[in-house]
Copies of this chain bind each other. A is one copy, B any other.
């Protein structure tokens, strides 16, 4: 039975989260296909990682939209902002299980990084609104708050990969540490 592109992507993601530096040959073995078949779908490791990178950005945008961060920021309403902040953080830690290895992937192309900066800019605007509403300390530079989210997501990814922390405990640990650290 032929393995579909979608099945290859799913298995590749699983392997890259376990072994972030895996080569194309190692990914092919983990997926259970030949190197030639993998190369028919993706010309290089960079090509594969770039495809996964664009998926990650699409999921990140979806999390922002489902959390309603733009509407909450526009409203300035404290309760709405708090609800959106929790939804955002929960959504981000959830997609981390799929995309976490990309947080420390150094070979992403410039156009993808520019798009990533744009999505982060929206998050920064939302976090600034949370600061104005008193949900996040106003004396912290908002770009530091955004970096702290990023850094703690790296911590989540590393902890789960090394088996240090149970996956079901991760949302609580992440939200707890971030919210206490910044509020």
Contact = CB atoms under 8 A, between A and B. Distances in A.
A20 B140 CA distance: 26
A21 interface: yes
A169 B151 contact: no
- How many copies altogether? 2
Given A20-B106, A141-B169, A177-B182, A158 B150 contact: yes
Contacts of A21: 106-107
Given A21-B107, A141-B164, A181-B181, A159 B173 contact: no
Nearest to A155: B151
Nearest to A150: B155
Contacts of A151: 151-156, 158
B177 A181 contact: yes
Contacts of A162: 143
Interface in A98-157: 103-107, 140-141, 143-144, 147-148, 150-156
A165 interface: yes
Given A20-B106, A106-B20, A106-B106, A165 B181 contact: no
Contacts of A155: 144, 147-148, 150-152, 154
A178 interface: yes
A150 B143 CA distance: 18
A136 B170 CA distance: 18
Nearest to A170: B144
A140 to B, nearest CB: 7
Contacts of A140: 173, 176-177
A116 B164 CA distance: 16
Q: Which 10 A-B pairs have the closest CB atoms?
A: A181-B181, A151-B155, A143-B164, A151-B151, A147-B155, A104-B104, A177-B181, A147-B159, A21-B106, A151-B154
